[in-house]
Structures are given as C-alpha cells and as structure tokens.
Structure 1
Amino acid sequence: MGPFSPFPRPFQPEEAYHPAFARLLSACPSRAHALQAAHLAHLPPPEQEEVIAQNGHALFLKLVPSLPAPHRKRGAVLEEAFRPLLLTASDYLEAMPALSTDMPPAAAQRIVRAYVAVHWTRGAQNAAMALYNSPA
C-alpha cells in the first residue's frame, strides 16, 4: 500500500497512546536487559510483559473508586488515579542506569524495577481506557 493509497493505513497501537505514555514505552528496557539485570541483582526473573500488564490492569480495576457517569468527570477521576503510576514509572526510568556486566546489584535492580513499572502502567492504562469507554 503506497502513501497515496485510497485505503486507510492499518491501525498502529502505539499511535493511540498519549505522547508521554508512548515515550515511556519506548524507553522501557527490553526483556533481555531485564533478565540480565535480574541475574546481576540476584533476583528471580520478572514475569513476561503481558503477565505484568494483566496484573496492572486487574489491580487498577480494583483500586479505582466508583466513576461518575459524565465522560468528562469520569476522565478526570481516571486521570487522577493513573497519573501517579505514570509519574512513578517515569521516575524509575530516569533513575535507571545503563546495563553493564559489572554493575552492582542495587543498580541492576533499578533496571528490573523500571521494566516492571512500565508494563504494570501499560496494563493500568488499558484498564483506565476500558473504564472511560464503558457505558455509564
């Protein structure tokens, strides 16, 4: 399909994210880096990305208070609940060092923490959007 095709482009999930959240996802360490960091930190390997995201989704659904019917008010409540998660994941990414084979365990643990926080936040974001779009 060329750039002037009469057909719409296929949907790209990353295009649906807010730019701040898209940057968070792009800065997330890879699973390979998280596994190496877990080994260096003497931690068990982190769960798969989808498992972490599912856990974040489920917990966010449990922690969100009852939502008002109007979408604008509902969006405000959900944003207030989600923003701390986004900021925490951003903070973890900023504190994350570059992976090296001779890093101390505490530094390697920060890589694992960032990996888990980003994927947990991804699941929570999916839950927030589902709640926002649900019928009142």
Structure 2
Amino acid sequence: MTLTQTIADEQGSDTTKPWCAGIESGGATGWPATDFIEDMVLRSAGDVYDQWVAGEIPFNDPQIAEAVDMAGDILKNPDYTNGGLGDPRTIATTSSTTAACRSSTASASCTAWRPSTRVLVVP
C-alpha cells in the first residue's frame, strides 16, 4: 500500500490515479476482482493461499478477510482508482480491457493496472 500512496502523493490528480480497475465482463462480471483478491491473499497470507483455494479454510477466515480489506482499501479509495474513467463507482461498469488501455497509453490516466489472467483459445 505504501507504493500506491506514494504514487497518489507524487503523481495523483483528479484525472491521474495510481490504479485503473475494471471488472465489467458481461455475464462474467467480477472475475477480475477475484484475481485482485487472490493477489492480496498471496501478498498478506501467502502460506494459506493453497488451503484457501482448496476450500480448507473459509472466506471469512481472518487472514482472507484481511486480504479482502486490503483490496478494498485500494479499489474503494477515490484517491487511488480510475483517473480519467470516473471514480471507484465506475469499476463495475468499466471493462478490464478499458482499464488496461487507460494505463498503457501515452495519455495514461493511471500508473498501474492488475493484469488479468486470460486464456486465448485458438480454434
């Protein structure tokens, strides 16, 4: 979180934020958020990650709840999220592709984007 705060302090403005985030994906809306939370679990409680995904510890385990709170501290903070796209309320209606484009163009409005795990199926 320290790096996110540093970026917000040094480069943040109404239109530039540390993170671009988008979870809209039609009928699959939300899956990019699960990837973000998985990253937070690995960062804060890596030793329980395998147990968590195997269903051996519940989602309300204190270590998992802490990771979800960490994700929320970033994603719900208007100083950290979606410069040029709106504010945290736009996360659910912004696609992960749009969020990625906003962080990788010459006129980027965000300095970071959590890339999603995607599988390309070639017929």
Tell me whether the two structures share a fold, i.e. TM-score over 0.5.
Answer: no
Q: TM-score, normalised by structure 2?
A: 0.29
Larger relative helix fraction: 1
Q: TM-score, normalised by structure 1?
A: 0.27
